[in-house]
Chains A and B, each alone.
Chain A
Amino acid sequence: DAGVTQSPTHLIKTRGQQVTLRCSPKSGHDTVSWYQQALGQGPQFIFQYYEEEERQRGNFPDRFSGHQFPNYSSELNVNALLLGDSALYLCASSLPITPEKLFFGSGTQLSVL
């Protein structure tokens, strides 16, 4: 059983560009959350998707948007990239019966130059 998979593993973009990161949840998981982890910091919650709707959102600007598909996979889009968006982006999924226990993917390392 595959765990949470994220793609791509690494990505380099320049300021002002747009980026799309992808996440496939663990089998049977219907809720997907996205976190941003800056170097030397703990992850910060971006948003959570359930039943293809954004259910909760952290303190991130509208440049950060997402989507969840009927197969529960998810995308994170960031527009007008800033240098400060450079970070590890982590996707996490959870089971309906234990929504508090998150399974994380290995992340996408985004570098903005």
Chain B
Amino acid sequence: SQQGEEDPQALSIQEGENATMNCSYKTSINNLQWYRQNSGRGLVHLILIRSNEREKHSGRLRVTLDTSKKSSSLLITASRAADTASYFCATDSNGNKLVFGAGTILRVKS
């Protein structure tokens, strides 16, 4: 079963705009992670936020976590065509067994 659910399912923006993706989950977690996947191949780890953290930054990425609402958001600022990919949130509740959502497909038009 998939715990994380991303919203929207698909997002199309112009280069230079910001992209925001949301993730909701159902059970308590140790941490929440975001991954990127290009063309249906391997996933690349983007950022990890622990349950006692509220916000984290990495380059053009900003992740927030609201454990009371069981939700997280990923913000990509100043998007580039190379950011075109699928983005997945994954929750870790039990010893590093990640539970992934269905993903958001992001298309950045140049």
Residues of A in contact with B (beta carbons under 8 Å apart): 4, 31, 33, 35, 37, 39-45, 48, 55-56, 58-59, 88, 90, 92, 94, 99-107
Beyond the given A41-B2, A43-B43, A104-B43, could you list 15 further A-B residue pairs with CB under 8 A, ordered by the A residue number?
A31-B96, A35-B98, A35-B100, A42-B100, A42-B102, A42-B103, A43-B88, A43-B98, A100-B48, A100-B92, A102-B96, A102-B98, A104-B35, A106-B41, A106-B42
What is the total of A-B residue contacts with beta carbons within 8 Å?
69
Count of interface residues, chain B, beta-carbon cutoff 8 Å: 27
Residues of B in contact with A (beta carbons under 8 Å apart): 1-2, 4, 30-31, 33, 35, 40-45, 48, 88, 90, 92, 94-103
Cα distance A102–B10 when bound, in Å? 25
Please tell me if the beta carbons of A107 and B2 are within 8 angstroms of each other in the complex.
no
Contact residue among A40, A42, A103 (Cβ-Cβ distance under 8 Å from B45): A103
Contact residue among A59, A92, A101 (Cβ-Cβ distance under 8 Å from B1): A59
A83 to chain B, nearest CB (A): 19
Please tell me if the beta carbons of A42 and B88 are within 8 angstroms of each other in the complex.
yes
Contact residue among B4, B90, B96 (Cβ-Cβ distance under 8 Å from A48): B96
In the complex, chain A residues whose CB is within 8 Å of the CB of B31: 100
Please tell me if the beta carbons of A41 and B102 are within 8 angstroms of each other in the complex.
yes
Please tell me if the beta carbons of A88 and B40 are within 8 angstroms of each other in the complex.
yes
Cα distance A90–B35 when bound, in Å? 13
B60 to chain A, nearest CB (A): 20
